[in-house]
Structure 1
């Protein structure tokens, strides 16, 4: 009996092969619930409405947390169904560390933390805003998000190199700008971390205007950095574009079939 229940729950929550037709309704229900939960959190920040309807908001929160808690426990319970690699306690731990499962945990954690921590801690109010992370649960039901995640994994080495290069550029630019501007503007460029704020704003081409160089060398460095920043941020975009092309090609190759007679590869659009 438990095995039968576990199988049904697995098909409803985790199976992506559409064997269980009711799984679509479960996913739709959870998506609607996530959107409603995030909407209530946003509306609750309006103090006049929050005070007037405090009990209603609290009731909604109890309902949302109850559903999401049951969902989290159910997903953790069925993770080893038909799969030997998730057997035992270690398997449950590995599944709990899955990014989607961590997001699910963060979605319900702010509700339970005040029961285990002193109520006079001010940061608990900020933790409650973590309920907005429930919107990230939508990634579980979005094919586009899963494709994006696959592309990032495919190109993680190249993206890491690009990020490392960007970090080195940021440190060098901040150090040079601190050296050039510290005497002319000691309040704005008082340290390398202060200069790093300017470098980030310049590299991203945002340019708030709250900090800018006034010396000749500082302006020269800023001009060079502004031009270089466009290229540096275009590099990850190019890597991701190549990743999407490569991912699409691999997916098409997996769909190709071989002729049972001669063993030749049959193109995906060949219906003969």
Structure 2
């Protein structure tokens, strides 16, 4: 029973019709919950508030049931861990935290402001659902694989922001003491300039300040282009890896191919994969590791496997 429940509530399992229907149902529930949250802010709809509250209660109860079922079946999500450790892993995972933050605000809406603000987490619940499908999973995978380069580029932007803030304060403080009161007052200006937003609420008026602003604006264009190029290159690499994945069952692989492990194969052993798909797995690429496959080696989500069709 637990295995069947896990297969149904598993997000993005295209091979299971009940799972697809459950995903659609949960998506409708999430959209209804978010819509009610927005409509409750309109005083003109006060006469509908009781109905909105009833919808909110029903959707939150559905979220609670889903959350409990995911905790109960967590040992299938993390088969390499014990039952207790797998449930603990789910509770502290992104999915588990988003699920919890989706539920908590309903019970603490009359309490601290921070709990009322957590209603925004319901929107991320929809993001969590979409992230399990192939088209959206490409984005999350690219961001994860390129995280070090992206963090480095963001660090460069922060350095430029602080440096430009200090420079602009030094030049503009005497002319605009109320605008550039201290070094941190220029951070808002440097953020809008480096990120090419340009709100125009704070701007230099001295000749030297304007010259510096021109240089900083050009640096901002280059700084924004760095993470854009990194992510774009990551998308190209990712789509090349996944090019043969969606049609693996129908594909006639005559040569060695490199494919991406998605939800259909994650958690299966090498032996199960080879028997089910009639392929031979030569190598598993897992993050920075190269693993020689054994029959009982468990495939993980986002693994890259080097295969060849046995019928070739």
1:142 positional shift: 3.8
Instruction: Give the equivalent residue in structure 1 for 2:33.
Output: 37
Q: Does 1:184 align with 2:175?
A: yes
Instruction: Give the equivalent residue in structure 2 for 1:28.
Output: 24
Q: Does 1:209 align with 2:205?
A: no
User: Are the structure 2 counterparts of residues 153 and 257 from structure 1 closer, same or farther at C-alpha, using a change threshold of 3 Å?
Assistant: farther
Q: Does 1:75 align with 2:75?
A: no
- Trace 1:72-221 onto structure 2 (pairs within 5 A): 72-81=67-76, 83-114=78-109, 119=110, 121-122=112-113, 124-128=115-119, 130-221=121-212
TM-score by length of structure 1 reads 0.85
1:147 positional shift: 1.1
Instruction: Provide, for residues 2-27 of structure 1, a one-character-per-residue CA deviation record: whole Å limited to 9, x for no partner.
Output: xxx21111110116554432111111
Which SS does the other structure have where 1:108 is aligned? Answer: helix
Q: Which has the higher helix share?
A: 1
User: Are the structure 2 counterparts of residues 150 and 125 from structure 1 closer, same or farther at C-alpha, using a change threshold of 3 Å?
Assistant: closer
Instruction: Give the equivalent residue in structure 1 for 2:276.
Output: none
1:129 positional shift: 5.0
Instruction: Give the equivalent residue in structure 2 for 1:54.
Output: 49
1:265 to 244, 247, 256: 256
C-alpha separation in 2, matches of 1:172 and 1:66: 50
1:83 positional shift: 4.5
Instruction: Provide, for residues 185-207 of structure 1, a one-character-per-residue CA deviation record: whole Å limited to 9, x for no partner.
Output: 01111112210000001112111
Instruction: Give the equivalent residue in structure 2 for 1:230.
Output: 221
1:251 positional shift: 2.8
CA contact (8 A) 1:100 1:137 kept: yes
CA contact (8 A) 2:33 2:59 kept: yes
C-alpha separation in 2, matches of 1:131 and 1:253: 35
C-alpha separation in 2, matches of 1:121 and 1:266: 55
Which stretches in structure 1 are left out of the alignment for 5+ residues?
Answer: none
TM-score by length of structure 2 reads 0.74
Q: Does 1:247 align with 2:238?
A: yes
Instruction: Give the equivalent residue in structure 1 for 2:287.
Output: none
Q: Which has the higher strand share?
A: 2
C-alpha separation in 2, matches of 1:224 and 1:124: 43
1:84 positional shift: 3.3
1:138 positional shift: 3.6
CA contact (8 A) 1:213 1:222 kept: yes
1:81 positional shift: 1.9
CA contact (8 A) 2:192 2:199 kept: yes
1:130 positional shift: 4.6
Which stretches in structure 2 are left out of the alignment for 5+ residues?
Answer: 260-308
Instruction: Give the equivalent residue in structure 1 for 2:296.
Output: none
Instruction: Give the equivalent residue in structure 1 for 2:285.
Output: none
1:128 positional shift: 4.2
